[in-house]
Structure 1
Amino acid sequence: MDAAALLTRLAAAIDAHDWQGLPDLLHADFTCRLVHTGEVFDKDAWVRFNADYPGFQRMLVEDLVTDGERCVLRATVIGEGDAGEELRFAVASFAAVRDGLVSELVEVWADVDQPAPESTRPLT
C-alpha cells in the first residue's frame, strides 16, 4: 500500500474508533513521538493511548502530502471536555512507511481558537 492510501486508512481507523484494526496498519517496529510532550510510544502503547483518550470523538483529514515513503497528514481532532463542551485540536502527523506499514510517526498538536501571543517585536 502506498503512503497516501496507508495514512488515509490510518486516519479513517482512528475516526471510526477501530482500535482492533489500527495495529494492522503499523509496522512491528513502529514508534510515535509527540513533539509537544516529548512522549514516545511503541505500537501497542500508541494504540492504547488513542483508544483510551478521554472525550475523543472525530479525526477529520484536512490535507495529505506524500513523497515516496514519507507522508504528512494535517487533521482536525474533535473531542468533548469534562463539562461536555466541544474541544478542537489541529494535528500534523509526519509519517515514514516501511514494508507497506507506518513505521514512524511524529505528531505536532495545537489547540484551535487560541489567541495568538502578542508580539513585543517592533514593527519594521
Structure 2
Amino acid sequence: MDTTALLARLAEVIDAHDWAGLPDLLHPDFTCRLVHTGEVFDRDGWVRLNADYPGFQHMHVEDLVAADDRGILRARVTGTGTGPDGSDRVFAVASFATVRDGLLAELTEVWIDVDQQAPDGTRPRA
C-alpha cells in the first residue's frame, strides 16, 4: 500500500473504531511519539491507547500530503463528554508518518485542543 492510501486507511480504521484491524496497518517495529506529552508507544501500546481513549468518537481527515515513504495527516478529532462541563471537545492532530515495507513504521503526533482561547495580547514581543 502506498503512503497516501495507508494514511487514509489509518484514519478510516480509527474513525470506525476498528481496533482489531489497526495492527494490520502497523509495522512490527512501529513506534509513536506524542510531542505534547513526550510519551513513546510501541505497536501494541498505541493500539491500546486508541482503543481505551475515553470519549473518543470521530476522526475526520482535513489534509493529507505524502511523498515516497513520508506523509503528513491533519485531522479533527471529537470526543464526547470530555470537556470540563461534560460537553463535547474538539482536537486537532498533525501526524507525521514514515512508512516501511508498506506499513506505518514511525508516527509523531502533535495534538491541540481547538477550544483554547488565544492569549489576551500579553504575548512577549520578539
TM-score (norm 1): 0.94
Which letter does structure 2 place at the counterpart of 1:100? G
In structure 2, list runs of 5 or more residues that go unmatched: none
Contact 2:72 2:95 in 1 (8 A): yes
Q: Distance in 2 between matches of 1:78 and 1:71?
A: 22
Residues 93 and 111 of structure 2 are in contact (CA less than 8 Å); yes or no, is this contact kept in structure 1? yes
**Per-residue Cα deviation, 1:36-83 (whole angstroms, up to 9, x for no partner):** 000000000000000000000000000000111000000000002355
Partners in 2 of 1:85 and 1:49 — Cα distance?
22
Q: Tell me the CA shift for residue 114 of structure 1.
A: 1.2
Q: Which moved more, 1:76-85 or 1:106-115?
A: 76-85
- Counterpart residue identity of residue 54, structure 2: P
User: Equivalent residue for 2:125?
Assistant: 121
Segments of 5+ residues of structure 1 without an aligned counterpart are none
Amino acid at match of 2:125: R
Q: Distance in 1 between matches of 2:37 and 2:80?
A: 21
1:4 is matched with 4
Q: Is the 8 A contact 2:29 2:43 kept in 1?
A: yes
Give the residue type in structure 2 aligned to 1:105.
L
Q: Deviations over 1:1-22 (max 9, x none)?
A: 1000000000000000000000
Per the TM alignment, residue 120 of structure 1 is displaced from its structure 2 partner at its CA by 3.1
Q: Partner of 2:105 in structure 1?
A: 103
User: 4+ residue runs of structure 1 moved beyond 4 angstroms?
Assistant: none
Distance in 2, matches of 1:114 and 1:59, equals 19
Map residues 17-56 of structure 1 onto 2, 5 A cutoff.
17-56=17-56
Aligned-residue CA RMSD (Å): 1.2
